[in-house]
Structure 1
Amino acid sequence: MTSQTSTTASAAVPAAAQGSHMWVLTLDMPGRGMTTSHGTVTPPAGATRHDVFRRLLDYVASEDPRMASANCVFFTLEPNRL
């Protein structure tokens, strides 16, 4: 599974360079902090939505270790097409 996080909304990235799915994940540690991450991902064949969710939790926690024990307050994973 690959994942990318977007840093600027104005940067045009060709669709071929993006993942097959777009994701948004918000984690909260009540009274201590909150983070929202987003990007694109191409899950491996046979992966479930739960598999992708767990991998993204691990990814966000690797970027911000404080969030390793945070509560998930929002998650979406949708095909990356209009």
Structure 2
Amino acid sequence: MSTQTEKTTTAPASQGSHHWVMTVELPGLAMQTLFGTCTPPQRATRHDVFMAIKSDIAQQDPEMARANVLFFSLEPNQL
């Protein structure tokens, strides 16, 4: 007698091509570490992505528009 096991996998939720982490601080007031994924447009630079993320953070919380960036990482979203 033979037994077959069927293994099904589900595709992960759609994610961007790059993973980013950014820590921003308003000295003495607030600090946030945010993260996410994105797919930069063709020919976009690291600086372009940095500015887009910083702009998005400022849109979500206008006070953070003047925050200092303490840490930024942008890497391909793959192992």
Give the shorter-chain TM-score range. Answer: 0.7 to 0.9
Larger radius of gyration: 2
TM-score with structure 2 length normalisation?
0.83
Counterpart of 1:14, as a letter, is P
TM-score with structure 1 length normalisation?
0.80
Which structure is higher in strand share? 1
Counterpart of 2:73, as a letter, is T
Q: How many residues align?
A: 69
Deviating above 3 A after TM superposition, structure 1's stretches of 4 or more consecutive aligned residues are: none
1:30-56 Cα shifts (integer Å, max 9, x gaps): 001111110000000000000000000
Gaps of 5+ in 2: 1-10
* Partner of residue 47 from structure 2, selected from 22, 46, 50: 50
Identity of aligned residues (%): 57
1:19 maps to 2:13: no
